Amino acid sequence: MSNKITQLMLNELILQSKKSDTHLADKLESVLNFYTTEQKENQKTIKQNEYFLKQWDRRNILANQRDMQKDELLKQQSRLASMGEMIDAIAHQWKQPLNSISMMSDMLREDFKTGSVDEPYIQELDKNIHMQIDHMVSTLSEFRTFFRPSTKNEEFTFLDALKSVQVLMKDELISQGILLYLEIDEHLSIFGNKNEFKHLFINLINNSIDSFNEKNIRNRKVHIRCYEENSNTYIEVQDNAGGVSLEVIDDIFKANITTKKEGKGTGIGLYMSEQILKKNHGSINVHNTKDGALFTITLKQPTR
Ligand SMILES: Nc1ncnc2c1ncn2[C@@H]1O[C@H](COP(=O)(O)OP(=O)(O)OP(=O)(O)O)[C@@H](O)[C@H]1O
Ligand SMILES: [Mg+2]
């Protein structure tokens, strides 16, 4: 029964009883008074509770807002960090084609002076410049894909990925006089991001190239083997470039560890390579052999 109806009924009772029994009427009236005061008290308490609830809600809302702001800040920080990484990575991959274009431009100026610039010369130069630019555009788009969360995964064979690395690095390998041997079990495949794996191999080969040049090595060789053992896939990248300096060998997979002069190395190549492998349930380690460095990649996920 609602409060209002109870109150009306009580009023009615008082009126009725006043006609017959005034004593009862007084008693009922005092009950009604007591009841009305109680009701007022209750309403006050309800209002107070409502006020407290509102305060509580406000506090919760503020706390949630603070949490959301913190999350947003963290997200922004990680976005900035990966943007920084992306810029480093692109700069790293663009170094070589930019050097080639700059060399071609120097050559053109010199050859023009000696009068050896004719139409076939320009056509050849144009072709070479476009090849380097295409490479830059493809690395740019590969890296954009690499740093986007929704990177495309697919089933690909290591042989396929390495053959395309061979194509990408063809000029560089020839001009540096490096023999690249591939000894790959052609069935071995992985479900992952092919571009990322290509960059991983490019990073390793570029490091060998740098080491060959630093130590003036002749008969330069990079040997890549890929085989399966105990349901793991192993990829070994071995060079005869003298090996990794013992001062840094324990830290080379950390970011910013480099032995190269400023402008020559950022120390990001192997760090990125390890990140790619971690994403694919893999790992990488290094040790020196008598001739050079041997990097061993282990991939634990089923490869077929
Ligand atoms: N094949 C190798 N032979 C000898 N030293 C190596 C080899 N690979 C890596 N290193 C050493 O490990 C260091 C770190 O390599 P990493 O690729 O991470 O950076 P970097 O080559 O110095 O710079 P970046 O790759 O950013 O241009 C190198 O500076 C070099 O001292
Ligand atoms: Mg490197």
Residue that is written with structure tokens 């056509």 in the block: 123
- Using alpha carbons, select from 243, 100, 237, 95 the residue that is nearest to residue 180: 237
Q: Is residue 100 part of a domain?
A: no
**Same domain as 176, residue 39:** no
Q: What is the CATH classification number for the domain harbouring 185?
A: 3.30.565.10
In residues, how long is the chain? 304
Q: Is residue 143 part of a domain?
A: no
Chosen domain end from 70, 95, 120: 70
Q: Which numbered ligand comes closest to the C-alpha of 267?
A: 1
Q: Is residue 89 part of a domain?
A: no
211 in contact with ligand 1, CB cutoff 6 A: yes
**Same domain as 171, residue 282:** yes
Cα(95) to ligand 2 centroid in Å equals: 12
Q: Is residue 245 part of a domain?
A: yes
- Of all protein residues, the one whose alpha carbon is nearest to atom 25 of ligand 1 is 269
Q: Is residue 127 part of a domain?
A: no
Cα(62) to ligand 1 centroid in Å equals: 49
**Helix 194-214 vs helix 269-279: crossing angle, to nearest 10:** 150
Q: Is residue 203 part of a domain?
A: yes
Q: Which residues contact 259 (CB under 8 A, 6 or more apart)?
A: 245, 247, 248, 265
267 in contact with ligand 1, CB cutoff 6 A: yes
Return the ∠ at Cα 67 (arms to 62 and 73), rounded to 5°: 125
Strands 293-299 and 282-288: antiparallel
| Number of structural domains found in the chain | 2
3-class SS letters over the chain: CCHHHHHHHHHHHHHHHHHHCHHHHHHHHHHHHHHHHHHHHHHHHHHHHHHHHHHHHHHHHHHHHHHHHHHHHHHHHHHHHHHHHHHHHHHHHHHHHHHHHHHHHHHHHHHHHCCCCCHHHHHHHHHHHHHHHHHHHHHHHHHHHHHCCCCCCEEEEHHHHHHHHHHHCHHHHHHCCEEEEEEECCCCEEEECHHHHHHHHHHHHHHHHHHHHHCCCCCEEEEEEEEEECCEEEEEEEECCCCCCCCCCCCCCCCCCCCCCCCCCCCCHHHHHHHHHHHCCEEEEEEECCCCEEEEEEECCCCC
pLDDT of 303 reads 47
Q: Is residue 211 part of a domain?
A: yes
- Using alpha carbons, select from 124, 123, 122, 128 the residue that is nearest to residue 102: 128
- Mark the residues whose beta carbon lies below 5 A from ion ligand 2: 207, 269
Residue that is written with structure tokens 């040049």 in the block: 213
**Same domain as 30, residue 166:** no
| Domain extent at residue 286 | 151-304
Whole-angstrom distance, CA of residue 233 vs CA of residue 252? 23
Chosen domain end from 54, 70, 86: 70
pLDDT of 32 reads 75
Per-residue pLDDT of the chain (304 residues; tens, 9 = 90+): 556 666 777 777 777 766 666 677 777 777 778 778 888 888 888 888 888 888 888 888 888 888 778 777 776 766 676 677 677 767 777 887 888 899 999 999 999 999 999 999 999 999 999 988 988 887 777 666 656 655 578 999 999 899 888 877 776 788 899 999 999 999 999 999 887 898 899 889 999 999 999 999 999 999 999 999 998 999 999 999 999 999 999 999 998 899 998 877 888 889 888 988 998 999 999 999 999 999 999 998 654 4
**Same domain as 174, residue 60:** no
Q: Is residue 208 part of a domain?
A: yes
Chosen domain end from 34, 55, 70: 70
Cα(73) to ligand 2 centroid in Å equals: 31
**Same domain as 43, residue 178:** no
List strands edge to edge, sheet with 232-239. Answer: 178-184, 220-229, 232-239, 293-299, 282-288
Structure tokens at 146: 């690499």
Q: Which numbered ligand comes closest to the C-alpha of 221?
A: 1
**Same domain as 63, residue 178:** no
